[in-house]
Amino acid sequence: MVASATLGYPRVGTGRAAKKAIEAYWAGKISEEDLQTAAKAIRQERWESQKNAGVDLIPSGEFTLYDHLLDHSFNFNVIPERFTKQGLSPLDTFFAMGRGHQDRAKGIDVAANEMGKFFDSNYHIVKVDHAPETEFKINRNQALEEYEEAKALGIETRPVLFGPITYLSLVRKSRDAPAEFKTLDLIEKLIPVYVEILESLKKAGAASVQLDEPILVTDAGEELGDLYKSTYEKLAAAGLPITLTTAYGRVGKSIEFLKELPIAGLHLDLNREPKQLDAAIEAVKDTKIVLELGLISGRNIWKNDLKASQAIAEKAIAALGADRVVISTSSSLLHTPLTTKVETKLTAEQLSWLSFAQEKCAEVAALATVLSGKESELFEQNTKDIAARREFERTSDSAVRDRVAAITPEMLSRKDAFPVRREAQKAHLKLPKFPTTTIGSFPQTKEIRVARAKFGKGELTQEQYETAMENEIKSVVDFQEKVGLDLLVHGEPERNDMVQYFGEQLTGFIFTQLGWVQSYGSRYVRPPIIVSDVSRPTPMTVRWSSYAQSVSSKPMKGMLTGPVTILNWSFPRADVSKEVQSKQLALALRDEVVDLANADIRAIQVDEPAIREGLPLRREDWDEYLTWAVDSFRLSTSGVENDTQVHSHFCYSDFGDIFPHIQRLDADVISIEASKADLKLLDVFAKHGYSNEIGPGVYDIHSPRVPSEQEIKDRLVAFAKVIPADLLVVNPDCGLKTRAWKETEESLANLVAAAKWARENL
């Protein structure tokens, strides 16, 4: 018999139960006991859903109330002193590590840990500081707790932990640590904690454990053979069989040392990298290692071609035998929505293309069933659905394809170089030194969401809805003028999401009602789905930006999401390349940029926060991606005259390695997340320099805490040491959509005051 497995499952719960419970706890509306009761019900639902789908190896221990990597740091008692001395409960300490905590009445003001992207996904991890003096001990044995919780329900699970090497590769090196220190230097301190956890799981009756080691699909992973050998020999001594899982790419040369490890199973991502199977079979055929074949994508929402996957799996079975093959998802299903069953507005044809987490569990089980020599109705229906999708893919918009084919090198460049453009922009915009602005969005209040929902249901007319949005825009503009910001924005009240909003106005997209995917903490998004060629039928933002400009004499900044980010934050097509899809989006946005400039919006921000996120995990694949990604941005923004100031925004962009490509974007102004990363990007600018204007974020908007004026002054002083003062722009780390108005008003007042101080003193 061929077994089936999943590596992880969405945490959202039916009806976004997790988000609602967590945010209710933060708001003081429910108790910690109520929150934990809700979390327990969601975990039960997750396990039962997978069991009912027929999955054999069901994961446990990967549920979290905020982030799985943060869980590990907290569970290993790696809690920075600034959190332990606040007198918070353990749960509130955990949340403070992820989102910060401010309670002025109690004198508590502590900033969150750094956040970063998880490999090349849009999921965010919390990176706690580690230093040479860091010590580990079990603060909470989550793996054991959840294994026993599932077992009490009659469900046998496979406990999941980050592998210790990936864990130490993902956490942050303390800024005060010696230059020569590497977080992996802590491995000998960490191993005993893992051994203790594995021994406790074995004692509790666990048959095996899943250790996630996706660092193995990076170039760095190939250099860690000796470390893996010594580490896993010590872990294996605990006596619990280990399945080592990789995801998000190919293991490459690492297969040569992986085959020597004392592990029971090895998982490979064969959805993204099917060609690595042959080398893996050859490597393990003379061992007892079970190959876990990640054939069902944990990253996309398309139905798996089960016949094609069957052929791949049969190759492994022929070489190793059915008892040494497991059918699995390519990664955790964390990156997919929960189920298609709740989608009532998609057509039957559209639903026949799609497979979310619950459906993917059924696909895993169906493939294992057929490979075990049994019949599966789902398998038969899958064959028909795949054939119908392939027929749909053969149709296209020839005008869009022709326009992409007609792109010329001249379309990728502005008329003149930055110094010439800058003089024209100074004359037009008349901004002061240390100009202040925001990244674009302002708080999305309950009133905004209600108006948008009523309009969607037909309870408001078009005129009533537009009037409501104009009132919100006028209010935001009035506030910005009152607080003293220099370059204004309209606040984006009409936008549900920075990608979905544009997708709804472009051809080639479809949308779910409840296809929520976790981004970080309680933040969930509904990625659009690209199903065919993309074009822009009519202007998308001009109406709102023009209205905002009409109610202010200060310059207004138009706000667009860039082509690479729209692509990376959507579920892309699988039948054409990402490059083709990105350039189709770029041409649509180029038209919008030109229309905004013609409407006298002479500062236009085209955000690309996902450009670093989409970077391939292997360096040898970088050039191809960066070439078309940067070209797509330039294609979007190069159709305007010199006096139009082009901005772009990046968050979580650890882009030291790709700095020349950031320069090649040739944006007049870039704004970056800097405060959340504890200003570490300043080191990059000190090393490389930057010739255009730049706005390093002066405070972290992912935390509800309000930065003091002095805190922002200190940041500006630090910035001015590495960036010429006349190139500095003053702005928050990111958009303000998720923040409340009170903290927004206080924070921006402090920002403006600090900028005024800088004009006189820096």
CA distance 486 to 499: 26
Neighbours of 310 (CB within 10 A): 17
Contact 600, 643 (CB under 8 A): no
* CA contacts within 13 A on the Cβ side of 505: 20
Q: Can you read off the two tokens belonging to residue 423? A: 């003089």
441 is in an annotated binding site: yes
Contact 333, 360 (CB under 8 A): yes
375 is in an annotated binding site: no
649 is in an annotated binding site: yes
CA distance 469 to 481: 18
651 is in an annotated binding site: yes
Neighbours of 349 (CB within 10 A): 11
CA distance 51 to 154: 10
* φ, ψ dihedrals at 204, nearest 5°: -80, -10
Q: Can you read off the two tokens belonging to residue 289? A: 């290692």
- Residue corresponding to tokens 């990156």: 335
Contact 83, 96 (CB under 8 A): yes
CA distance 503 to 499: 6
Active-site entry in 68, 267, 647, 702: 702
Neighbours of 492 (CB within 10 A): 25
The distance of Cα 182 from the centroid of its chain, to the nearest Å, equals 25
440 is in an annotated binding site: yes
Strands 517-520 and 523-525: antiparallel
CA distance 609 to 5: 33
Q: Is 702 a catalytic residue?
A: yes
HEC per residue, 372-413: CCCCCHHHHHHHHHHHHHHHHHCCCCHHHHHHHHCCCHHHHC
569 is in an annotated binding site: yes
The distance of Cα 368 from the centroid of its chain, to the nearest Å, equals 31
Q: How is 579-610 classified by DSSP, letter by letter?
A: HHHHHHHHHHHHHHHHHHHHTT--EEEEE-TT
Contact 114, 107 (CB under 8 A): no
Contact 547, 469 (CB under 8 A): no
> Binding site, residues?
19, 122, 439-441, 492, 569, 607, 649, 651, 673, 734
> Binding site for Zn(2+), residues?
649, 651, 673, 734
> Binding site for L-homocysteine, residues?
439-441, 607
> Binding site for 5-methyltetrahydropteroyltri-L-glutamate, residues?
19, 122, 569
Residues labelled as active-site residues: 702
